[in-house]
């Protein structure tokens, strides 16, 4: 567990003030952009595209001309960008700070193109359309050119508030690997705001990483190691501001969406064995299956009349 603790202390150091947080993001973006601009695309990127396109084919979530919003678009705007390859949607790309990386975006799209012919459930005509649009995207030299080409709008709001958006104005709210990083005390408000800005019958599609992110640096520990720590110990020794996770469990996510007027349509969950862990008091009474969940995909609909 040496790497686990060392990483936690390092991230704590980078969280110690605004200057250190800015240094962390600058270093992370520089190193990350270099890696994403030339490295292999991780398998979970095309996997997310497959899942979204299957949902779309089965449920007709969006139509051409619909307005969507992607939360926490990060480096690549991946969810909105890949849906736009096949459907003429207008997207708002919403984030709390600017982490955009055009080189990485182009590199991953370049790798995605040849994969679209198999396993994505799209017709040959739809694939040709997507590949032609990828070719156009690869020619842009700035994000402004990209947004003009695609009809996208980029919004940075450091508070994370969605108050600027009108009620019933979006057909889809989508995110990938974002909600687990939202402050726990702000989650219900954010989910309520996504419900407000969606049209009746609009969709929310979220991929949520419920694993211990410190385990990504130390594979010798359980992917749910954080279940061992009380709130006090977690905050004092392990929680940080640059890679914050809210430790929210599957059942809590489902309850929050239900309480805010969403109906669950489809769920995909991945689980690990946690029998070797001694659970902190907070988790002892929770459902074991919820605690075992390391990854959650949810497709939900805003109830009619809400």
Q: Which residues pair with 70 in a beta bridge?
A: 93, 174
In the chain, alpha helices (H):
2-14, 18-38, 44-59, 78-84, 102-115, 124-137, 143-150, 187-197, 231-233, 250-259, 281-284, 288-292
pLDDT band, residue 230 (cuts 50/70/90): very high
Between 14 and 74, name the one with better pLDDT.
14
Count of domains observed in the chain:
1
286-302: burial string, b at 16+ Cβ within 10 Å, e else: eeeebbbbbbbbbbbbb
**Domain CATH for 141:** 3.40.50.150
Instruction: Taking residues 144-159, report their average pLDDT.
Output: 97
Both tokens assigned to 63: 């139509």
Instruction: Taking residues 24-34, report their average pLDDT.
Output: 83
Residue 32, pLDDT score: 81
Where in the sequence is the domain holding 84, given as residue range(s)? 2-302
The C-alpha atoms of residue 301 and residue 262 are separated, in whole angstroms, by 5
The C-alpha atoms of residue 142 and residue 190 are separated, in whole angstroms, by 31
Instruction: Taking residues 259-279, report their average pLDDT.
Output: 97
Least confident of 12-21, 132-141, 205-214, 258-267: 12-21
Mean pLDDT of the chain: 95
Q: For residue range 72-100, what is the model confidence (pLDDT) as tens digits?
A: 988 899 999 999 999 999 999 999 999 99
Largest CA distance in the chain: 56
49 contacts 112 by C-beta, under 8 angstroms: yes
Residue 26, pLDDT score: 84
pLDDT band, residue 29 (cuts 50/70/90): confident
Residue 107, pLDDT score: 96
Instruction: Taking residues 236-254, report their average pLDDT.
Output: 96
Backbone phi, then psi, for 205, in 5-degree steps? -125, 115
The C-alpha atoms of residue 88 and residue 283 are separated, in whole angstroms, by 44
Residue carrying the six token digits 């678009």: 73
The C-alpha atoms of residue 72 and residue 182 are separated, in whole angstroms, by 10
pLDDT band, residue 35 (cuts 50/70/90): confident
Q: Which residues pair with 176 in a beta bridge?
A: 207
Contacts of 155 (CB under 8 A, 6+ apart): 92, 93, 94, 95, 164
Residue 304, pLDDT score: 64
Residue 31, pLDDT score: 81
Residue 198 has pLDDT above 80, yes or no: yes
Q: Kindly state the percentage of the chain with pLDDT values over 90.
A: 91
Residue 306 has pLDDT above 60, yes or no: no
The helix (run of H) or strand (run of E) holding residue 207 is: strand 198-209
CA-based nearest residue to 302, from 205, 189, 207: 205
């Amino acid at each position: 567990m040496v790497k686990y603790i060392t990483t936690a202390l390092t991230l704590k150091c980078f969280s110690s003030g605004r200057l250190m947080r800015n240094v962390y993001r600058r270093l992370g973006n520089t190193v990350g952009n270099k890696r994403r601009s030339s490295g292999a695309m991780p398998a979970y990127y095309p996997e997310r595209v497959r899942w979204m396109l299957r949902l779309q084919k089965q449920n007709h979530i969006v139509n051409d001309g619909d307005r969507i919003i992607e939360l926490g678009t990060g480096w690549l705007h991946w969810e909105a960008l890949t849906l736009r390859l096949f459907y003429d949607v207008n997207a708002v790309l919403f984030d709390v700070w600017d982490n955009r990386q055009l080189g990485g975006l182009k590199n991953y799209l370049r790798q995605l193109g040849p994969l679209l012919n198999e396993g994505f459930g799209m017709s040959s005509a739809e694939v040709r359309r997507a590949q032609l649009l990828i070719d156009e995207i690869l020619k842009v030299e700035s994000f402004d050119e990209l947004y003009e080409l695609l009809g996208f709008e980029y919004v940075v709001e450091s508070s994370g508030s969605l108050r600027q958006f009108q009620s019933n104005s979006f057909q889809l709210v989508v995110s990938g690997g974002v909600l687990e990083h939202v402050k726990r005390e702000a989650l219900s408000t954010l989910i309520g705001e996504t419900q407000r800005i969606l049209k009746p019958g609009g969709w929310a599609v979220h991929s949520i990483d419920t694993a211990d992110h410190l385990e990504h640096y130390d594979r010798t520990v359980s992917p749910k190691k954080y279940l061992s720590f009380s709130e006090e110990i977690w905050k004092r020794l392990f929680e940080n501001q640059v890679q914050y996770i809210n430790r929210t469990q599957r059942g809590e996510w489902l309850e929050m969406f239900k309480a805010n007027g969403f109906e669950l349509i489809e769920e995909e969950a991945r689980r690990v064995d946690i029998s070797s862990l001694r659970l902190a008091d907070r988790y002892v009474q929770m459902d074991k299956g919820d605690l075992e969940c390391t990854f959650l995909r949810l497709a939900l609909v805003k109830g009619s009349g809400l």
